[in-house]
C-alpha cells in the first residue's frame, strides 16, 4: 500500500461523491463528464490553485501544509476521522524505506490483567490487522463460540475479526444489520491502513478480502473512513437469542498497539440478562462427583 497512492485515490473518490449542488455551485444545466466536482471546482472551494491541487491529487506533491489540508477537508466536507485520515495520508513517509516483517503481536501483562479485570463481561484483544490476540471466555462465546477457544494463543492460526465478518457464515449471521457491521470493519481498516501503509500483513489481509469478497471490494473502493470507538449492534446469538450490545474499543491514544473490544448491555435489560445467561452456558462444566455412600455397579 503506497501512502501517496492512497491519498490520490481518497481525494479522487471523495471529490467524485460531492455534487455541485451539494456545495452551492450552479451548473446551469451543462453536461458534465464526471458525476462529482471537477478538480478546478474543489480547488476554488478550498482557496488553492487548481494546478497545485492537481499535483497533490496525483501524488506529485508531498509537502502540503496543515492549513491547506484543512481547507481541502472543509471543501470535501470531511468529518473528524476523515480529516485525520487525510492528514495521515498526506504526511511525508519516514526515511529509510519500509521495515522488515513486523514483530509478532503479543498481549502484554498489563493488557492481560485488564482483560481479566472485566470478569464476565465479553472482551477480546485484537491486533493492528484485527487478529484476535486473546479473549475471555465470554468474549469467545459471544463473538466466535464456533471456534476453538485456544487458537488465539497460537501465532499463525489466530482468527481475524475482519476475515470472520466477511467470510465466515456464523459471524455474518450474528449481526442483524450485517452491512452496518461490515462498513464499520472496512472504515476502521481504512484508518489503520492510512497510519501503517507499509504493514505487509495488513496489505495481505486487504488483498485477500478484496479478492474473496465482492462486498468488501465495493466498500473498500468507496474510501469511507469510520472510527469504531463505540457502536450498538443487535446480535442473533445461537445460544441466548437476540440481544443488543454496545461494543467499545479501548486503544492507546497513538493507535499503534492492541485494542481491547468490550461488549456491554444496558443494566437490567433483556440483553443484560442474555449476557448473564451466556456466561452461565459457556462456563466450564465440573466433573460430576459420586454421591457419598453410593454403590458402584459392576457388570
All structural domains of the chain, each given as residue ranges with its CATH number in brackets, are 3-90 (1.10.260.40), 109-281 (3.30.450.180)
**Three-state DSSP class for 187?**
helix
List the chain pLDDT tens, one digit each, 299 residues.
Answer: 555 578 888 888 888 888 877 777 776 556 667 678 888 888 888 899 988 888 888 877 767 888 989 999 998 898 888 888 888 888 755 544 445 566 678 888 888 888 999 989 999 999 988 999 999 999 999 999 999 988 887 777 889 999 999 999 999 999 999 999 999 999 999 988 888 888 888 889 999 999 999 999 999 988 888 777 899 999 999 999 999 999 999 876 555 678 999 999 999 999 999 999 999 988 887 654 545 544 434 33
Q: Give the HSE-up count for residue 233: Cα atoms under 13 Å, Cβ half-sphere.
A: 29
Q: How far apart are CA 96 and CA 7, in angstroms?
A: 21
Q: Please state the pTM of the whole predicted model.
A: 0.79
Task: Annotate 224-243 with b (16+ C-beta within 10 A) or e (fewer).
Answer: bbbbbeeeebebebeebeeb
To 10 degrees, the CA torsion angle through 184, 115, 256, 196?
-50
Paired residues of 232 in beta bridges: 246
Report the distance separating Cα 4 and Cα 267, nearest Å: 47
Burial 174-205 (b: 16+ CB within 10 A, else e): bbeebeebbbbbbbbbbbbbbbbbebebbeeb
CA distance 20 to 9: 20
Residues in the chain: 299
CA distance 250 to 174: 22
Q: Quick check: helix, strand or coil at residue 235? A: strand
Q: Residue 23, Cβ neighbours under 10 Å: how many?
A: 15
In angstroms, rounded to a whole number, what is the distance separating the alpha carbons of residues 40 and 38? 5
Amino acid at each position: 500500500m503506497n501512502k501517496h497512492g492512497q491519498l490520490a485515490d481518497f481525494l479522487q473518490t471523495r471529490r467524485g461523491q460531492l455534487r455541485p449542488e451539494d456545495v452551492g455551485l450552479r451548473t446551469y444545466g451543462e453536461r458534465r463528464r464526471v458525476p462529482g466536482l471537477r478538480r478546478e471546482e474543489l480547488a476554488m472551494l478550498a482557496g488553492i490553485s487548481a494546478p497545485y491541487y492537481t499535483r497533490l491529487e496525483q501524488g506529485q506533491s508531498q509537502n502540503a501544509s496543515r492549513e491547506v489540508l484543512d481547507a481541502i477537508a472543509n471543501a470535501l466536507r470531511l468529518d473528524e476521522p476523515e480529516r485525520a485520515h487525510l492528514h495521515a495520508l498526506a504526511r511525508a513517509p519516514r526515511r529509510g524505506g519500509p521495515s522488515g516483517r513486523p514483530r509478532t503481536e503479543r498481549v502484554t501483562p498489563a493488557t492481560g490483567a485488564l482483560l481479566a479485570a472485566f470478569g464476565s463481561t465479553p472482551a477480546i484483544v485484537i491486533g493492528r490487522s484485527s487478529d484476535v490476540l486473546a479473549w475471555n471466555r465470554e468474549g469467545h462465546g459471544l463473538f466466535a463460540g464456533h471456534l476453538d477457544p485456544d487458537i488465539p494463543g497460537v501465532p499463525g492460526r489466530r482468527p481475524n475479526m475482519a476475515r470472520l465478518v466477511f467470510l465466515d457464515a456464523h459471524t455474518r449471521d450474528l449481526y442483524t444489520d450485517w452491512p452496518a457491521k461490515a462498513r464499520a470493519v472496512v472504515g476502521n481498516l481504512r484508518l489503520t491502513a492510512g497510519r501503517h501503509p507499509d504493514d505487509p500483513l495488513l496489505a495481505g489481509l486487504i488483498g485477500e478480502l478484496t479478492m474473496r469478497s465482492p462486498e468488501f471490494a465495493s466498500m473498500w473502493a468507496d474510501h469511507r473512513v469510520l472510527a469504531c470507538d463505540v457502536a450498538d449492534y443487535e446480535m442473533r446469538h445461537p445460544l441466548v437469542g437476540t440481544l443488543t450490545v454496545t461494543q467499545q474499543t479501548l486503544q492507546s491514544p497513538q493507535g499503534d498497539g492492541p485494542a481491547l473490544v468490550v461488549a456491554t448491555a444496558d443494566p437490567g435489560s433483556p440483553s443484560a440478562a442474555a449476557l448473564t445467561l451466556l456466561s452461565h452456558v459457556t462456563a466450564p462444566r465440573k466433573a460430576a462427583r459420586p454421591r457419598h455412600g453410593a454403590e458402584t455397579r459392576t457388570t
